[in-house]
Amino acid sequence: MQGWLTMTAADLGRGIAAGEIDPVALTQCYLDAIEAHPHRDRIYSAVTAERALAAAGAAAERARLGLRRSALDGVPISWKDLFDSAGTATESGSDLLKGRIPDRDAQVLETATALGAVCLGKTHMSELAFSGLGLNPVKATPPCVNDEGAAPGGSSSGAGASVAFGLAACGIGSDTGGSVRIPSAWNDLVGLKTTSGRISLEGVVPLCLKFDTVGPLCRSVEDAGLALGLLEGNAGPDLRNPAPLKGRRFADLQTIAQEDLDPEVTEAYGEALEKLRAAGAEVVPLEVPELVEAMNLSPVLFTTEAYGLWRDVIEASPEVMYPEILARFRSGAEHSGADYVAGWAKLEQCRLAWDQAAAGFDGVLSPTCPILPPEVERLEKEEGYYVRANLLALRNTRIGNLMGLCALSLPTGRPSCGLQILGQPDCEELLLRVGISVEAALV
């Protein structure tokens, strides 16, 4: 049974369908692993054992009758602590929301449950989802699978750790500036950022509504596709019989994305590109000068909306917040409404330029994250180190959010080094089909 903890969600689903895996036994195996794990309380904010076993029992009966509702019916999944779950605390990693217990599930949790997904519980995260590092001294900081003294990546930190440490078959997180892809990269997972507006945010604690997205962190591209189906209430894209990479054309993004890389990241990225070329893909350099202006708009667009949404709640009890997160929120007060409107107008022009530059490519490539996971102890002690690490961690992933794209992070084979593939808006199915071929080439 212990082998179940490292299987892909898709393989677990196939085992259930074949009658080889009992969903109740599978769920109990995960619950036992969670309970016995030394970092249980650093990864999970709440474990919903009763709910999980009830859902698993229903899944087992459906499997017996040949009435399974999806490929992941009966598969145990974790949920970031910003998805409302009926009767279970949902605090978005912040004492500002301490004791907040919703009376109904978020729409995506409700949809996934209807398709048979088993909810194991809620996972820790960066406070109010406003950091790419995963450091949260207020609640808990999950460990990184490659270095337990390093940051796990955020804000979906517990979601990534739950999968990486074998405590969930898949984790559902959110991505506003990189919060699915950074923990995926640093924990050697696959992470899918969906297009803004594609998946319901009803019942999801917001950060920046114009950028917030929902997506999975998992063990394979196939899992990501099936999880996308769970979130949307369908079977997900058909990823069988992936097309070979020969003839595929990729852009190697030069603008911004390859500055200040850690040496290990540079080497991992170079090796990944060589593997793609060896598989027959064409990889050509791409410059998009407008990205510079778009990135410079980030403080206006992200912090202004975040502080606008949270100002009254924050200023009622600012003392309960981690100071670095509080300062980041408050920086949103520095910009006027006119700055925000003008910023969005400029961003739309930058998006048009991106669309023209990226047309004709099967994907735009970059390192997922420029840096390796930084030391938690140093982050907590040195303000300058924290600020620089947070900005660098989010830099490459934020390109996808600013440009309104879907994006995928894949492990390169080097610890904590991910390869990012940027796709076109609302083209997740195509991105995943490309991604499964890239995944095979990177092995």
Over the stretch 268-320, which tens digit does the pLDDT of each residue have?
Answer: 999 999 999 999 999 999 999 999 999 999 999 999 999 999 999 999 999 99
Which strands make up the sheet holding 76-80, listed edge to edge? 44-47, 118-123, 76-80, 170-174, 214-218, 190-193, 407-411, 418-422, 363-367, 249-253, 282-286
Beta-strand pair 76-80/170-174: parallel
Tokens of residue 412, six digits: 């390169």
pLDDT of residue 243: 86
CA separation for the pair 221, 332 (Å, rounded): 36
Nearest to 306 by CA among 338, 321, 324, 328: 328
6, 26, 139, 141, 190 from 45: Cα distances, Å: 22, 21, 8, 11, 23
Point out the residues that are catalytic.
80, 155, 179
In angstroms, the CA 271 to CA 443 distance is 11
Which residue, chain included where needed, has tokens 């689903």? 13
290's CB contacts (< 8 A; 6+ apart) are 349, 350, 353, 354
Write down the pTM of the prediction: 0.98
- CA–chain centroid gap for 215, Å, is 6
Mean pLDDT for the chain overall: 98
pLDDT tens readout for residues 105-154: 999 999 999 999 999 999 999 999 999 999 999 999 999 999 999 999 99
Res. 323 pLDDT band, cuts 50 70 90: very high
Cα 243 to Cα 84, 248, 264: the distances in Å are: 39, 9, 30
Percent of the residues in the chain that have a pLDDT greater than 90, as a whole number: 98
Residues 235, 240: Cα–Cα separation, whole Å: 13
Which domains are seen in the chain, by residue range? 2-232 (3.90.1300.10), 249-296+323-442 (3.90.1300.10)
Q: Are 129 and 82 in contact (CB under 8 A)?
A: yes
- The predicted structure's pLDDT at residue 2: 79
Q: Identify the CA nearest to 9 among candidates 321, 202, 197, 230.
A: 230
- Tell me the three-class secondary structure of 9-39, residue by residue: HHHHHHHHHCCCCCHHHHHHHHHHHHHHCCC
CA dist list (Å): 215 to 45, 101, 236, 366, 427 = 19, 23, 13, 20, 14
The vertex-367 CA angle with 305 and 201, nearest 5°, equals: 35
Name 403's Cβ contacts closer than 8 Å, sequence gap at least 6: 294, 350, 351, 354, 422
- pLDDT at 241 (0 to 100): 87
Sign of the CA dihedral 242, 247, 253, 257? positive
pLDDT-based confidence at residue 182 (cuts at 50, 70, 90): very high
Q: Which of 354, 221, 353, 357 is nearest to 284 (CA)?
A: 357
Q: Give the three-state DSSP class for 274.
A: helix
- Dihedral of CA atoms 51, 57, 63, 65 in degrees, nearest 10, equals -130
pLDDT for residue 117: 98
Give the three-state DSSP class for 268: helix
pLDDT at residue 212 greater than cutoff 90? yes
